[in-house]
Chain A
Amino acid sequence: MIHAPHKLLAALFAVALSASLAPASSPVLGSVTPRGGQRGVDNVILFNGARLTDAVEILTYSPGFTVAKLEVVNDTQLKATVKIAADCRLGEHVFRVRTKTGVSEMRTFWVGNLPVVQEVEPNNDFAKPQPIPLNVTVHGVIDNEDVDYFVVECKKGQRLSAEIEGMRLGNTLFDPYIAILDSKRFELAASDDSPLLGQDGMVSIVVPADGKYVIQVRESAFGGNGGCAYRLHVGTFPRPLAVVPAGGKFGEEVELTFLGDPAGPFKQKVKLPAGPVEKYGVYAQDAGGVAPSPIPFRLSEFGNVVETEGNISHATATPFELPSAVNGVVSKPGEVDHYRFKGKKGQTYEVHCYARRLGSPLDSVMTIGYLNGGALVSNDDAIGPDSYFRFTVPEDKEYVLTITDHLHKGGPTYFYRVEFTPIQAEAVVGIPKVAQYSQERQAIVVPRGNRFATLVQVGRRDFGGPLVLSAEKLPPGVTWTSENMPANLDTIPVVFEAAPTAPVGALVTSLTAGHVDPKLSPLKSRFYQMAELILAPPGQSLYWKAEASQAVVAVTEEVPFKITLVEPKVPLVQNGSMNLKVVVERQPGYKAAITILPLWNPPGVSSAQSATIPEGATETTLTLNAAGNAEVRKWKTAVIGVATVGNGPVHVSSQMATLEVAAPFFTFAMERAASEQGKDTEIFCKIQQVAPFPGSAKIRLMGLPTKATAAELEITKDTKDLAFKVVVDKTTPPGQHRNLFCQAVVMLNSEPVVYNVGAAELRVDVPLPPKVNAPVATPLPVVAKPADPVKPPEKRLTRLEKLRLEQEEREKAAKGDTTEPEKKK
């Protein structure tokens, strides 16, 4: 169902690499100039960035490009001569630059149908516009408050259209405004934004008289800067704004009606592709040429109905059958289009109104209700301004679907398409971003004889359960390791490994996910990757992005280090910690420091942000901590190593290693204790043994206040309780010390298992000052003495019992004050 990935390797002309240039890595691609070119001819394109010295390929995601010549101008610039096929799809194409040591970010390039001419300044004066022939694409720039004027010669009755690519070029926040003016400066057509092209505009007129016509280009708020490049298509091409129907069945030939062209509606037959095509659109075409950009078009496996005229009530509703799609136009302000269908109880459909997503000005409001009855479900905005809901048929009856505009607008180009489709489970696979708004590590780049690790994320829609990942294809010599994705997770680590003999190269491939259970029906799955190209206020709003439906997997040249994760022989216990050991194997002479980054932590496990293997050293440890509720099971994970090779960073990974998270061997129930400064006390623990362990475990009381100490104790698998003698100094700060706990160290396979257990509090009081006027001060010690001999059955008293005892004694003493002294004396 996904369009067969097509990759076109650039013809690898010998790239003369000067020996003086240092080996580069991690290429960076900034701007691409010009921003587009004409199909059917050779285009010279400059790629500007950094670390491009060892560039070998322009890696495209779509067909139609042949790199005839690739020259490295310097480390920051490449010059490519690219032949664009005559049948190359018009519009935006995504690509990357591959070097021997890395793969760049995604960038875009625009393909047009018309020959390119350059803007020539000064053209800022309406009286002195730049003359251009008809049917060209002007490459220009709008500087601050710049206004560009171009003049064309037209004949009466001819169509004159202009369309601009500004924001869509993905350079910077550039909101262009275009207009066609006559020689007397009257605006015949103007466009700032358009539903079809977003911030980019388009204008089209039928020329009223022979003469000169001026096309004006500016930023809509008189802004602009050197980055505001544009491609202005000027010609006689059709520029319709709507198409009906706005979708069709795979493989069929359909007759489309294009609306909104100044020359009037016209029909065109189109043979639709047999299977799904990403971002499919239809290009209006007639004797005047072909529209520079398409109208997005829905491809479907179901049939199509176009509205009948006057379907503005339940009685006149256009009938259709489920599942299929209806197509129409809200042609007048306030018009409500009606469609009727029979529903079978219990059937559920996804109901999507495609309007703004197809470039229609309609801000849809969609409802379904009983025929001649009230509405059951309605929606205004769900996906942008488009309406969507899921409809479960409540009973076997006839229903009516209505479509109108939220602001009661309407017009000949307010087209829409409503699709009813059965619910279909879908898994969308992607590589999560390492950093927000960044393209870092979004491509899989594996050095020969080394490894590369990434996380893979799967968005599950309308299904659950564990998943298995698969790659459509991988470069020769590349293998990958990954566990199945458990049902409760949506992200897992994957390690790619390239054999030492794997050839340096790259391909684009689809990564997909499927059910682990082979008995389940195959899952619809696709790969999706997005790069934010224009972010601007308000907030970090996304204005333009580059998208890809395939991942890039590349093999690059060897790097002089390889890291290994020393698999721990003991588990990471809940509430425990562990030092993961990472060792590096360096090639002779390679001494750089290596930063170790965790790739992924299992649920409930956290880790240090990073660890460093110092220059020349061979190992380090990365600390892991498990929460008390960390899921108990064996996980697979890896760590990433990053170091500078040449003049840029290189990322490699360790092998996939097992990390076990286990329950603790024993737990403690600890009692609270209280004491006075300078007075010792005890803290008691009742031990609950969970799993036997060999030998003895060391238990240390942690979290004591300063100047309070307790000796380390040992327990075995049979110990039931434990008492720490706490020595409280006279200077120990008074107060409630709440964070006392025990650290247990159990030795297993000669490795320590360290974890925290129990929780207690220690209250330290300031001793009461001796009473100034204490008549009973002397008799009391006398009272205490006779009690001494009664000690032998030393029962350990809890704090509460102690307090009770103390209280009893006080009460006794108080009584003794009045009555008992007689007896005692």
Chain B
Amino acid sequence: MRTHIASLVCLAVLAITSDARAQEPPASLAVFPPEVNLSTSRSRQVFVVQAVYPDGITRDVTAEAKAALVNPAFAKLDKNVLTPVADGATELKVEFGGKALNVPVKVKDATVERPISFKLDVMPIFLRSGCNQGGCHGAARGKDGFRLSLFGFDADGDHFRLTREMNGRRINLALPRESLLLEKSQGKVPHTGGQKIKDGDEYSQNILRWLDAGAPLDPPTVAKPVALELYPKNAVLDGKGAAQQMVVRARYSDGTDRDVTALALFLSNNDTSAKISPAGVVTAGDRGEAFVMARFATFTVGSQVIVLPKGLQFTFPPVEERNYIDTLVNAKLKKLRIEPSGLCNDETFLRRVHLDVIGVLPTVEEYQRFMTNAAPNKRELLVDDLLGRKEFAELWVMKWAELLQIRSSNQVSYKATLLYYNWLQDKIARNAPVNEWVQELLGATGGTFKNPATNYYQNETDVLKVSENVAQVFMGMRIQCSQCHNHPFDRWTQDDYYSFAAFFAQIGRKGTDDPRETIVFNSGGGEVTHPLRGVVMKPKFLGGDTPDVAGKDRRVVMAQWLASADNPYFATNLANIVWAHFFGIGIIDQVDDVRISNPASNPELLAEMGKRFTSYKYDFKKLVRDICLSRTYQAATQANPSNEGDTRNFARAGLRRIKAETFLDCISQVTETKNKFPGLPQGARAVQIADGGVSTYFLTTFGRATRETVCSCEVKLEPTLSQSLHLLNGETTTQRIASGNLLGRRLADKATPEQVIEELYVRCLSRKPTPKEMSKLSAAVAAEPDKNKALGDLFWALLNSREFMFNH
């Protein structure tokens, strides 16, 4: 009974706040689109009105706002739809909650009929209705005997297939209504896909108009869409059920624009928080953040939608901001009404930063030194110290070796692999600016022994794969899809793909004195042909210009653009890769899956880091230093109620399983045992393994990258049963404890069990045991006559503890 009353009370409170919101005057008002252009008689424009309240909450007030045309002679207003009447200009006046706004309205060619267009009017229907999806007619072999190009990348081909491929069947120009195209899509005859459009609706009418016109193919002069706009750009919805209508407008090459809300395909990357209907209405769900997208022609654009619990009361606490990272992370958290976790303690920081920066645990001495250091800036001093250590370079050589696929194979000898690895190590150890060595790598010419950077082009010799790899590693783009069709979730078209591949079409390779060596050079000949159109593609930067490559090494031209500020993706991509290393998750995640439909969780932060990295002259260490010194990085892992559900906004530190190589090195370090890997001297660390082909059972089990692909997903951090069993029973723990004989030596040195327990804790976990742990453990050890065995058990237990396995 009491609960019932309580919930009634809650409801009443909710009602009050909701009402309060309705009556409260908004801080500002916005109308989308910000201006209305109507051209030709069929043109129309839907608009939405968004009210922004002082606390940042937004509401779609289109229905409540008063709207009227200043001069109704030029246009007609029906609810929120404007249609042309006569040529001229006027304004739409919108009023709500005491705020008013005038939107310019221009009308042109009000009585001119725009001729029906296959590409502009019919093709979008196929995309919107799902006809050309991969599961339907867009499949490589079509569906039920009829094929359309996937997501409409080949409009000319689709026109051919509709009108010519099966004469007199798919369309019927004598009786257009009886065309199979219409009958199937309207479900009048059996259609596996069911009814997609209704007889008489806008889509049916457009198809019919096209058929009535004789099913023409557009003249080559027909305008092409050049940009897409989705309004509003962002929305903060207050509680479940709040809604926001979206408006989509396309801009064309002839300068016109068009309301394509009815033709766009809407998607949301988080249906739980913000679901979007086919008509473009976003409905709020659970608390969270979503990116809603509209797809039209080859464009995908998105808007950010934040959903908050109804009536949430929140004040952002005062949080220290040590640098721009904290400022930008906190700005996002404020928007989300999330409070960051507190600062981690010194012990945690010491262990975390050691593992992240140099891939080894702090030694007992390092622990003592840091913990007893009273300097207020001791964390900063520690970071600077670690950045200067050789292990820092080794850790990042490994990271890059994964991305550059440094691995021996039938084509690449172990010697070449080692030389390549050492070349990279030298660059990183000397902190060579990243753009410089990337340019050197991608423009490399010479023998694979004499100039080891050329091995980049020996590891992968397929022109298309090389271009895909370059895009994925250095720009974070997966352009593979656009090899066969326009990228479904990104902007890349086949033209972009093959134009980029043209940079790698002139790589010459020849043998030399040593059978294991290959000379990579600019052959000056070779082109890439567009498979659909059969034309030779001019080299064009991905998302950039078409440079002059005549008489030059195309790769050098490409490398100079790629690793420079001219390429908007290079610096941010590297910054994202570095960020992901320290947080376990990228600002864009996965780091090599940069696309419009996978937006950055904090675009401002990513952009700023990219800008800083560029201004640092691509000094990698400076970027790492910024991250490590930020409060964001030094946050504790413990969640507070506001951030416990958040995983993407860095409100608290994440728990990260230590990578295979580093983990093995940690075990070797704490047990004082040595590794032996093929091709490396005794005692080498696992991060030093040059050849991706070399592995051990331990490394494979814990997910070491095989470097067979450039994918960041090669490194596996998921727990598996074999990992647990190996640590419980395998040679890596028990045998190493025995062969390292650390306990034997300590006991021989007359150390007390308590001293040994404390050392083991500091060695493995970089902390002292709690008094409770100590009292229980010393009692247990005291009860066991064989001290070595008892302490060995403790050592084993520590190595098997989650606290040891994770960086926290």
Chain A positions near chain B (C-beta within 8 angstroms): 145, 175, 192-193, 195, 198-199, 220-223, 356, 363, 381, 384-385, 406-407, 536-539, 541-543
Contacts and interface: CB of A to CB of B under 8 A. Distances in A.
Contact of B516 (A222, A356, A384, A538): A538
Interface in B650-696: 679-682
Given A220-B415, A222-B680, A222-B681, A384 B521 contact: no
A221 B679 contact: yes
A407 B411 CA distance: 22
Contacts of B796: none
A543 B446 contact: no
Contacts of A363: 512, 519
A191 B37 CA distance: 72
A407 B508 CA distance: 11
Contacts of A199: 514
Nearest to B679: A222
Contacts of B418: 220-222
Contacts of A220: 415, 418
A99 to B, nearest CB: 35
Contact of B515 (A356, A406, A541): A541
Contacts of B521: 406-407
B446 A356 contact: no
Contacts of A406: 521
A198 B410 CA distance: 21
B410 A195 contact: no
Given A221-B414, A222-B680, A407 B514 contact: no
Nearest to B522: A407
A468 to B, nearest CB: 39
A538 B515 contact: yes
Interface string B428-458: 0000000000000000011001100000000
A175 B449 CA distance: 12
A145 B513 contact: no
A195 B517 CA distance: 13
26 contacts: A145-B680, A145-B682, A192-B449, A198-B514, A199-B514, A220-B415, A221-B413, A221-B414, A221-B417, A221-B679, A222-B418, A222-B679, A222-B680, A222-B681, A223-B414, A223-B679, A384-B512, A385-B513, A406-B521, A407-B445, A407-B519, A536-B515, A538-B410, A538-B413, A541-B516, A542-B515
Contacts of A536: 515
B515 A175 contact: no
A801 B114 CA distance: 78
B802 interface: no
B509 to A, nearest CB: 12
Contact of B513 (A192, A195, A223, A407): A195
Nearest to B417: A221
Contact of A145 (B445, B512, B681): B681
B369 interface: no
A459 B413 CA distance: 35
A407 B515 contact: no
Does more than half of chain A's interface fall in helix, strand or loop, or is it mixed? Answer: loop
Contacts of B450: 193
Interface in B632-646: none
A222 B417 CA distance: 12
Contacts of A538: 410-411, 413, 515-516
Contacts of A222: 418, 679-681
A220 B450 CA distance: 13
Give the secondary structure class of B's interface: loop
A275 to B, nearest CB: 30
B123 to A, nearest CB: 49
A198 B680 CA distance: 25
Interface of B: 410-411, 413-415, 417-418, 445-446, 449-450, 510, 512-516, 519, 521, 679-682
A175 B413 CA distance: 12
A145 B680 CA distance: 7
B746 to A, nearest CB: 29
Contacts of A221: 413-415, 417-418, 679
Given A222-B681, A407-B521, A385 B512 contact: yes
A198 B513 contact: yes
Contacts of A145: 679-682
Contacts of B510: 381
Nearest to B513: A198
A714 B741 CA distance: 96
Instruction: Name, among A223, A363, A407, A542, the residue most crowded by chain B CB atoms within 10 Å (CB to CB).
Output: A407
Contacts of B411: 538
A192 B450 CA distance: 9
A146 to B, nearest CB: 10
Nearest to B446: A407
Contacts of A198: 513-514
Given A195-B513, A385-B512, A537-B410, 20 more contacts: A145-B679, A145-B681, A175-B415, A193-B449, A193-B513, A199-B514, A220-B415, A220-B418, A221-B414, A221-B418, A222-B679, A222-B680, A223-B414, A381-B510, A384-B512, A385-B513, A407-B519, A537-B413, A538-B411, A538-B516
A363 B450 CA distance: 13
Contacts of A537: 410, 413, 516
Contacts of B445: 407
What 10 pairs across the A-B complex have the smallest Cβ distances? Answer: A541-B515, A221-B415, A221-B418, A221-B414, A145-B681, A220-B415, A407-B521, A222-B679, A407-B445, A538-B515
Contacts of B682: 145
Counting chain A CB atoms within 10 Å of each CB, which of B516, B681, B682 scores highest?
B516
Contacts of B446: 407
B211 to A, nearest CB: 58
Nearest to A147: B681
Output the residue of A145, A198, A381, A536 with the most chain B CB within 10 A. A145
Most B CB contacts (10 A, CB to CB) among A195, A363, A542 go to A363
Contact of A193 (B410, B414, B417, B514): B514
A337 B192 CA distance: 74
A684 B514 CA distance: 66
A592 B138 CA distance: 77
A220 B418 CA distance: 9
A444 B121 CA distance: 88
- The winner among B445, B514, B682 for most chain A CB atoms within 10 A is B514
Contact of A543 (B413, B515, B679, B680): B515
Nearest to A542: B515
A307 B219 CA distance: 65
Contacts of A223: 414, 679
B309 to A, nearest CB: 61
Contacts of A381: 510
B457 to A, nearest CB: 14
Contacts of B413: 221, 537-538
A173 B680 CA distance: 18
Contacts of B417: 221
Contacts of B515: 536, 538-539, 541-543
A384 B513 contact: yes
Nearest to B412: A538
Contacts of A385: 512-513
A788 to B, nearest CB: 64
